[in-house]
Chains A and B, each alone.
Chain A
Amino acid sequence: MTAVDITPGERKRQRAMVTPEGLELRLELASVGQRLGALIIDLMIIGAITLAAIIGLLLIASAAGRSAGELVLVVFLLGMFVLRNGYFLAYEMSAKAATPGKRVLGLRVAARDGGRLRFDAVFTRNALRELELFLPMSLMLAGPFSGGGVSGWIYLLGLIWCAVFVFLPVFNADRLRAGDLVAGTWVLRAPRQKLLRDMADDGALHRTDFDFTPAQLDVYGVKELQVLEQVLRTGDRSTVRAVADRIAAKIDYARGDAPDGEFLRAYYHGVRGRLESRLLMGKRRKDKFDAA
């Protein structure tokens, strides 16, 4: 049953946004795990570029001699600054509004008010990354005793202080990090989805081979129909067989030696036609227990 049903976790992350045309779009927030995954991918890319730059510039410096060393250092320092701050900025300003890490996971940044994503907002949310990510990281790397005169307790307080920001997304319903809070943005999961085949197309082919009475088609509701759709899409043979047997027994239909798949497709077509015609009358039968 869970194959189609939205899990509670997903429902908690569903948000509605009303477009100017008056239609409610259902958006899904990215989970903390997805955000973290995207960040790790991005940091790995930045790290790889840094490493490549160091190696490349060292090679250039050694080839060109000492005179070029100065210039190489300037290029490196500026390059690192631009990379660290510009990477997120440039990618989130692009049409996809997502860094490569976010793209891999199907995430994108969007303005919370549904308006356009402005440059200031992207800048702000990434400026706060300094506080949420780079400050705790440098604090961790600095270690408790290298600071000279900084006691362990102060260090611990610093860690707690940073942890508040690092774990902020876990503690609010919209999974906002501090940068999102200030910039008025959030991160959504909006993956590309392909247009799948309509399972009723197959059903229509076999519909005439089977003869279902209205009572037999009225056994199930929308929820069961959607489970059946999922079963047909997956097409796992043993599941199809088990489901076909169950349905045939439940609706008391002697199907003889008709193949399981054909029987199920035809039945799906029949039930869907029946439920949809009721839908047109404004009646949505939720599931098999729904008397409507």
Chain B
Amino acid sequence: MSELQLKSQRFRREREADWRRLEAIVDKAEKKSASALSDDEILAMPVLYRSALSSLSVARATSLDQGLIGYLESLAARAYFFVYGARSTPQEQLVAFFSRDWPGGVRGLWRETLIALAITVLGAAVAWWLIGTDSDWFFGFVDQALADGRDPTASRETLRATLYHDEGAEGLSAFSTWLFTHNAGVALLAFALGFAFGAPTIVLLLMNGAMLGAMLHVFFEKGLGFEFGGWLLIHGVTELFAIVLAGAAGMKIGWAVAFPGADSRLEALSRAGRTTGAAMVGVVLMLLLAGLLEGFGRQLIGSDVVRYAIAAATALLWGVYFYGPRPAKVPA
């Protein structure tokens, strides 16, 4: 009997227990999570993984048992993803994100951020100038539903009332939630559209700027510029900055598609995607904060000075957080 046993059969018999053990550990990790593994299992994992890899390479060279090779291929791939895909704990990831990834991602976008800002300002300036020549242009720039009566035909009193309305105490939080989801959607879209060489992103930024310019013109016309500034900037510093950043990220992607440089388009694209991803997560967080400021802060704080103070504080906060000097790279 024993001389009838093939070498590949003996090979399998000797190693099978190790494979089964590795399989059980991977199963457990996939079903629950990596933290469900005991210390022994975590220590055994890399050793078992390497022995499974070596088994696979031996099996490929010496065994003709398809079932065995297929099993080892699948086991090795699953274990590989686990061993090399093993992530740090959620806590560490969170710390790394706030301390390094987010500001780093935003800093990496500084050139695009300036361009996106310039485009927004350009849109605003053009809208301002056009409405100056003919106030009907306003309706071309601002959505009726969003304007909600705040157009050039409105009287100074109505406009003033919209800046300090108290009737919003009811329906206030739902409004801010809606604004947040709406803005986050727009920002994600600005980012995603960058994929098409960045052109739609630029259009989106222009439109956003034009809307801003149109609104500014309406309020300045009626001598409410200072008040409107406070109303807008209390959340606008955060929100506009977030949208500009989203546009910048979109442009970076578009640039990588259009001008990949020495890399292949695919490589350039995924590299750009990797650096902008963290910045985009941050953009969504900024919009959440902006939504809160808009929904609660603006409705509850009526004083222009306090509004401007909050606006300045947020501007300072973001500026220092993103662009402020920081200690030399800490070893990871």
Contacts and interface: CB of A to CB of B under 8 A. Distances in A.
Nearest to B196: A161
A280 to B, nearest CB: 6
Contacts of B1: 204
Chain B interface bracket (under 10, 10 to 19, 20 to 34, 35 or more)? 35 or more
B322 to A, nearest CB: 17
Contact of A116 (B73, B87, B101): B87
A187 B5 CA distance: 41
A193 B71 contact: yes
A194 B1 CA distance: 27
Interface string B72-83: 011111101110
Interface in B245-290: 253, 266, 269-274, 276-278, 280-281
Contacts of A23: 53-54, 56-57, 76
B68 A198 contact: yes
Interface string A59-89: 0000000000011011001101100000000
Contacts, number: 202
A169 to B, nearest CB: 14
B30 A200 contact: no
B177 A77 contact: yes
B331 interface: no
Nearest to A176: B266
B34 interface: yes
A97 B81 CA distance: 9
What does DSSP make chain A's interface, helix, strand, loop or mixed?
helix
A130 B189 contact: yes
A26 interface: yes
A191 B272 CA distance: 31
Contacts of A70: 170-171, 173-174
A184 to B, nearest CB: 3
A246 interface: no
B184 A208 contact: no
Interface in B20-40: 20, 23, 27, 29-30, 33-34
Contact of A276 (B7, B66, B270): B7
Nearest to A73: B174
Contact of B66 (A71, A195, A226): A226
Nearest to B271: A184
Interface residues of A, number: 78
Contacts of B6: 200, 204, 269, 272-273, 276
B188 interface: yes
Interface stretch (B8-16, B146-154, B213-221, B302-310): B8-16
B166 interface: no
A121 interface: yes
Contacts of A4: 66
A116 B86 contact: yes
B225 interface: no
24 contacts: A25-B76, A25-B80, A71-B173, A78-B177, A93-B87, A95-B29, A114-B84, A116-B85, A120-B281, A131-B192, A181-B273, A182-B195, A182-B270, A183-B274, A183-B277, A184-B270, A194-B71, A200-B8, A229-B66, A269-B6, A272-B65, A275-B64, A276-B8, A276-B64
Interface of B: 1, 4-9, 12, 16, 19-20, 23, 27, 29-30, 33-34, 50, 53-54, 56-57, 61-68, 70-71, 73-78, 80-82, 84-87, 93, 97, 101, 105, 170-171, 173-174, 177-178, 180-181, 184-185, 188-189, 191-193, 195-196, 253, 266, 269-274, 276-278, 280-281
Interface of A: 4, 19-21, 23, 25-27, 70-71, 73-74, 77-78, 80-81, 93-97, 108, 110-112, 114-121, 123-124, 127-128, 130-132, 135, 161, 165, 178, 181-184, 188, 190-201, 204, 207-208, 222, 225-226, 229-230, 233, 269, 272-273, 275-277, 279-280
Given A161-B196, A276-B62, A279-B64, 14 more contacts: A25-B73, A70-B173, A74-B174, A74-B177, A94-B33, A95-B82, A97-B85, A120-B277, A190-B77, A192-B74, A193-B74, A204-B9, A276-B64, A280-B7
